């Protein structure tokens, strides 16, 4: 959070201090389907029951972690997978890259070995990205790796054959409507290469997209996930949706993502940015990158201290993680990316019990880390090892046993109840410098007792009252749809409450200038003004503030973000 010191109301809150927790990459990009009632699951298979869907999803739910591979002609200019569109390269020019594509060092087994060393259980390869170039042999279009490059090998085939040898589930990404390399493919408006890209859209969908999906489902064995992509276009007919659905039935075990408009995906996708609130849908996946790029750019891998907590946070919310690497034109995964993945794999060797097969942890937010769960064991992933050696766990349950996953003999850690917290005494030194895991077995269904003071409290807003209740309902899908740059909302807490932490969850974008006021004994006091909050810095800590209502105002923001949730926490 960036608040100029002059903005603090020093008189009202002496010695105010701020701390922010940059929970890596936070903020949500809702992409897809809403969750459905248990009896009618969201599924690409019409009429499927919840039991059948859960059975179909079972391997994916346990797998938790996959490798995303963005590989196509774009690795040659090394400018990312949107190079053709960003630089407005014509097809005539761009397609010449195929002649330069000869990845002699490609070795499908080496990639699968890396996936296993990294602790990954599935792999999703871009069989055709928006550039339109197929990385597999295709009768539907000769613009493919076998027919158009000197390499002449079908890498999708090689990967699909190597994956099961290594116990990895093979999955295929396919850019369906978006295609810049075939006439009629969706290429943004206006087309930058009209002589080539204009064309019959319906013919493209049938003769290229649907035909290639049929090829993928016919020639590469069983596919785990068909990971469709789009660039936002919704230009598809009902008849085409029906045909794709029929084609998908060639492999009824398929799991399908929600990016072909009209085809209901099986899971929600979150791209790069961590949802701030746990997605309500039963199945969701966060896709992210090792180095900030999808296709190869030469960018360096992110540090482990950034990547690992980011991934664990998603697992703590019950998600899967699909981590991307961008191989080079020589056919290798950059060594620093590979090394980072192996480090994560090392962490999973010790702590994977807390990840694979786990479900979301019981907490909405924890100051020191996150948690997952497996039946009666709550796994506490501690990112900030307590300096006093005492871990406070806000569970209402009776503790049974606590131990460190890094401890092979599972020596019991001493614990006691202290008010509302289970208090676990830890060794002085964290077993892992980034994230150490404490397993805690408890009696009964874990019950979180660290609840936002604003949860389900009444909200009044100066604008867009209809949607204002989304601010306190702990649901990412409901949000205050404010568009007014000077609007404010007031949360009535019902009685005086004392809080020390704000957790602000904008739906998109940043807050540029917010004003926070608190009502105490009928008088409003300003607590913070000119609050600037980046979407990935959503925690603000304050000295204790007491009041029976809080008011948050935007101060002439040109584009105020919608607010998913506004939480207030007492001292921990
Ligand atoms: C973004 C990128 C696209 C990439 C996708 C993966 O939409 O623009 O190139 O394939 O993310 O989810």
CATH number, domain of 546, equals 2.60.120.260
Q: What is the pLDDT of residues 214-243, one digit of tens each?
A: 999 999 999 999 999 988 888 999 999 999
β-strand pairing of 523-533 with 511-520: antiparallel
Task: Confirm whether 239 is domain-assigned.
Answer: no
Tell how far the Cα of 479 is from the centroid of ligand 1, in angstroms.
25
Find how far residue 130's CA is from the centre of its chain: 21
Task: Ligand 1, residue 269: give the atom nearest the CA.
Answer: 12
Same domain, 436 and 474: no
From the list 478, 547, 555, 509, the residue with the least C-alpha distance to 568 is: 547
Same domain, 552 and 409: no
Tell me how many domains the chain contains: 3
Task: Confirm whether 23 is domain-assigned.
Answer: no
Tell how far the Cα of 159 is from the centroid of ligand 1, in angstroms.
21
Range of the domain at 529: 451-569
Tell how far the Cα of 110 is from the centroid of ligand 1, in angstroms.
25
Confidence check: pLDDT of 12 > 80: no
Task: Confirm whether 4 is domain-assigned.
Answer: no
Q: What is the pLDDT of residues 421-442, one digit of tens each?
A: 999 999 999 999 999 999 999 9
* Confidence band of 506 (pLDDT split at 50, 70, 90): confident
Task: Confirm whether 364 is domain-assigned.
Answer: no
- pLDDT score at 508: 77
Task: Confirm whether 36 is domain-assigned.
Answer: no
Same domain, 346 and 320: yes
Confidence check: pLDDT of 498 > 50: yes
Same domain, 424 and 533: no
Task: Say if CB 120 and CB 222 are below 8 A apart.
Answer: no
Same domain, 458 and 409: no
CA distances 519 to 459, 514, 523, Å, are: 14, 17, 5
Same domain, 83 and 200: yes
Name the closest-CA residue to atom 12, ligand 1. Answer: 271
Among residues 354, 389, 417, which one ends one of the domains?
Answer: 354
| Pairwise CA distance, residues 123 & 263, whole Å | 22
Return the percentage of the chain with pLDDT > 70, whole number. 93
Q: What is the pLDDT of residues 268-316, one digit of tens each?
A: 999 988 888 898 889 999 999 999 999 999 999 999 999 999 999 999 9
Task: Ligand 1, residue 129: give the atom nearest the CA.
Answer: 10
- Helices 304-316 and 335-351, axial angle in degrees (round to 10): 50
- pLDDT score at 39: 56
* Confidence band of 20 (pLDDT split at 50, 70, 90): very low
Task: Confirm whether 261 is domain-assigned.
Answer: no
Same domain, 401 and 332: no
Number of Cβ within a 10 Å radius of residue 504: 25
Task: Ligand 1, residue 68: give the atom nearest the CA.
Answer: 6
Return the percentage of the chain with pLDDT > 90, whole number. 85
Same domain, 112 and 153: yes
Tell how far the Cα of 195 is from the centroid of ligand 1, in angstroms.
26
- pLDDT score at 17: 30
Residue in 187, 284, 294 to alter for ligand 1 test, most ligand atoms within 8 A of Cβ? 294
Tell how far the Cα of 322 is from the centroid of ligand 1, in angstroms.
12
Among residues 442, 460, 480, which one ends one of the domains?
Answer: 442
Return the CATH number at 416: 2.60.40.1180
Same domain, 456 and 537: yes
Name the closest-CA residue to atom 4, ligand 1. Answer: 294
Name the closest-CA residue to atom 1, ligand 1. Answer: 271
- pLDDT score at 534: 81
pTM here is 0.91
Among residues 423, 442, 461, which one ends one of the domains?
Answer: 442
Task: Confirm whether 501 is domain-assigned.
Answer: yes
The mean pLDDT of the chain is 91
Find how far residue 73's CA is from the centre of its chain: 26
Four-residue CA torsion sign, 91, 96, 98, 100: negative
Residue labelled with tokens 């014509």: 90
Name the closest-CA residue to atom 2, ligand 1. Answer: 294
Same domain, 408 and 531: no
Tell how far the Cα of 266 is from the centroid of ligand 1, in angstroms.
19
Task: Confirm whether 431 is domain-assigned.
Answer: yes
Name the closest-CA residue to atom 11, ligand 1. Answer: 271
Same domain, 98 and 149: yes
Same domain, 398 and 498: no
Task: Say if CB 367 and CB 382 are below 8 A apart.
Answer: no
Mean pLDDT (whole number) for 360-387: 96
Task: Ligand 1, residue 173: give the atom nearest the CA.
Answer: 10
| Pairwise CA distance, residues 172 & 165, whole Å | 17
Return the CATH number at 349: 3.20.20.80
Q: Which residues line ligand 1 (CB under 6 A)?
A: 81-82, 229, 271, 287, 294
Token digits of residue 290: 């090792």
- pLDDT score at 51: 96
Q: Which residues of 263-297 are buried (b: 16+ CB within 10 A; e: fewer)?
A: bbbbbbbbeebbbbbbbebbbbbbbbbbbebbbbb
- Residue 211's Cβ-count burial label (10 Å; 0-12, 13-18, 19+) is middle
């Amino acid at each position: 959070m960036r608040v100029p010191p002059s903005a603090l109301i020093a008189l009202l809150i002496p010695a105010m201090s701020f701390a922010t927790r940059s929970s890596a990459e936070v903020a949500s990009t809702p992409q897809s389907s809403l969750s459905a009632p248990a009896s009618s699951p969201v599924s690409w298979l019409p009429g499927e029951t919840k039991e059948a869907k859960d059975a179909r999803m079972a391997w994916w739910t346990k797998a938790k972690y996959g490798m995303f591979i963005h590989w196509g002609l774009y690795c040659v200019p090394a400018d990312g997978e949107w190079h053709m569109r960003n630089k407005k390269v014509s097809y005539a020019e761009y397609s010449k890259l195929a002649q330069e594509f000869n990845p002699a060092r490609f070795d499908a087994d080496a990639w699968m070995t890396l996936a296993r060393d990294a602790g990954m259980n599935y792999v999703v390869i871009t069989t055709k990205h928006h550039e339109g170039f197929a990385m597999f042999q295709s009768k539907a279009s000769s613009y493919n790796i076998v027919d158009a490059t000197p390499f002449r090998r079908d890498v999708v085939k090689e990967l699909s054959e190597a994956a099961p040898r290594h116990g990895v589930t093979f999955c295929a990404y396919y850019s369906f409507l978006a295609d810049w390399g075939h006439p009629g493919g969706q290429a943004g408006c206006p087309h930058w290469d009209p002589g080539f890209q204009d064309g019959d859209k319906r013919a493209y969908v049938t003769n290229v997209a649907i035909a290639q999906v049929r090829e993928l489902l016919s020639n590469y064995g069983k596919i785990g996930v068909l990971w469709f992509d789009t660039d936002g276009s919704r230009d598809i007919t009902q008849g085409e949706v029906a045909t794709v659905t029929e084609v998908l039935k060639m492999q009824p075990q398929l799991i399908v993502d929600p990016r072909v408009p009209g085809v209901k995906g099986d899971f929600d996708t979150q791209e790069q940015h961590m949802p701030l609130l746990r997605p309500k849908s039963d199945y969701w996946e966060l896709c992210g990158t090792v180095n900030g790029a999808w296709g190869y750019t030469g960018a360096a891998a992110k540090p482990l201290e950034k990547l690992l907590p980011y991934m664990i946070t998603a697992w703590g919310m019950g998600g899967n993680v699909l981590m991307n690497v961008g191989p080079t034109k020589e056919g290798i995964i950059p060594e620093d990316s590979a090394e980072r993945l192996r480090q994560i794999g090392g962490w999973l060797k010790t702590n994977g019990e807390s990840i694979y097969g786990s479900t979301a942890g019981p907490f909405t937010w924890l100051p020191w880390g996150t948690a997952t769960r497996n039946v009666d064991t709550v796994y506490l992933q501690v990112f900030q090892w307590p300096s006093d050696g005492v871990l406070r766990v806000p569970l209402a349950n009776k503790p049974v046993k606590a131990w460190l996953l890094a401890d092979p003999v599972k020596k019991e850690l001493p614990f006691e109840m202290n008010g509302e917290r289970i208090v676990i005494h830890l060794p002085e030194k964290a077993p892992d410098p980034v994230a150490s895991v404490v397993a805690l077995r408890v009696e009964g269904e874990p019950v979180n007792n660290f609840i936002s003071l604003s949860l389900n409290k009444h909200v009044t807003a100066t604008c867009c009252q209809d949607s204002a209740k989304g601010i306190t309902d702990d649901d990412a899908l409901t949000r205050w749809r404010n568009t007014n740059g000077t609007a404010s909302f007031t949360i009535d807490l019902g009685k005086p409450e004392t809080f020390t932490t704000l957790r602000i969850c904008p739906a998109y974008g940043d807050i540029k200038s917010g004003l926070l006021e608190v009502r105490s004994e009928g008088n409003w006091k300003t607590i913070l003004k000119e609050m600037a909050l980046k979407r990935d810095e959503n925690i603000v800590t304050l000295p204790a503030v007491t009041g029976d209502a809080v008011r948050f105002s935007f101060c002439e923001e040109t584009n105020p973000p919608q607010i998913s949730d506004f939480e207030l926490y007492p001292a921990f």
